[in-house]
């Protein structure tokens, strides 16, 4: 083997060693860095008719974090600015499992006052994450949910 191949081989071996020790299932948010998911300007009709909860992936691995975002739309299906203080609650439910059996393994943060939340679970299952938005005090909640499957 010639001398100029040794540094390349050493680099490849170090890279493989690092990849094997760290792995590919680290706790990296799926939607990194979204702090304000609002549009820059409001349309003329800025009354919120419905909200949509979304994430970039519907499946995550155990202990992996997933950022979820709520966006508001008017009756013309135009994206409108939401007031984060009117997000009264983020909540979750699980399908096919006892809620009390998995509650200590599930993390949802923050639980209110934010247009984004981060979900993670230490157990497998199908989870529904819901956002409750209230435009004015006394109004009905405007809600939407998304499904997140947690796998091994």
Q: Report all structural domains of the chain as residue ranges with CATH numbers, in order of start.
A: 26-151 (2.60.40.1080)
Secondary structure of residue 15 in the 3-state scheme? helix
Q: How far apart are CA 148 and CA 129, in angstroms?
A: 7
Which among 134, 145, 88, 140 has a CA at the least distance from the CA of 114? 88
Cβ atoms of 115 and 82 closer than 8 Å: yes
Q: How far apart are CA 45 and CA 33, in angstroms?
A: 29
Cβ atoms of 53 and 21 closer than 8 Å: no
| β-strand partners of 92 | 129
pLDDT digits (tens, 9 = 90+) for 87-119: 999 999 999 899 999 999 999 999 999 999 999
What is the mean pLDDT of the segment spanning 23-27? 53
- The number of beta carbons lying within 10 Å of the beta carbon of residue 64 is 19
Q: How many residues comprise the chain?
A: 152
pTM: 0.74
Dihedral in degrees, nearest 10, Cα atoms 99, 104, 107, 108? 50
pLDDT of residue 31: 47
pLDDT digits (tens, 9 = 90+) for 31-69: 455 667 788 888 888 899 999 999 988 999 999 999 999
Q: Read off the DSSP letter of residue 152.
A: -
């Amino acid at each position: 083997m010639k001398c100029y191949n040794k540094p390349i081989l050493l680099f490849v071996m170090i890279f493989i060693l690092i990849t094997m020790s760290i792995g590919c299932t680290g706790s990296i948010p799926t939607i990194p860095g979204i702090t304000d998911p609002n549009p820059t300007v409001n349309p003329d009709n800025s009354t919120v008719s419905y909200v949509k909860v979304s994430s970039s992936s519907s499946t995550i691995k155990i202990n992996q974090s997933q950022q979820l975002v709520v966006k508001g739309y008017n009756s013309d299906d135009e994206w409108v600015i939401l007031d984060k203080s009117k997000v009264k609650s983020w909540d979750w439910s699980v399908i096919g499992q006892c809620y009390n059996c998995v509650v200590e393994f599930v993390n949802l943060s923050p639980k209110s006052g934010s247009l984004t939340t981060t979900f993670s679970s230490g157990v497998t299952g199908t989870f529904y994450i819901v956002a409750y938005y209230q435009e004015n005090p006394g109004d009905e909640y405007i809600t939407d949910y998304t499904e997140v499957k947690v796998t091994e």
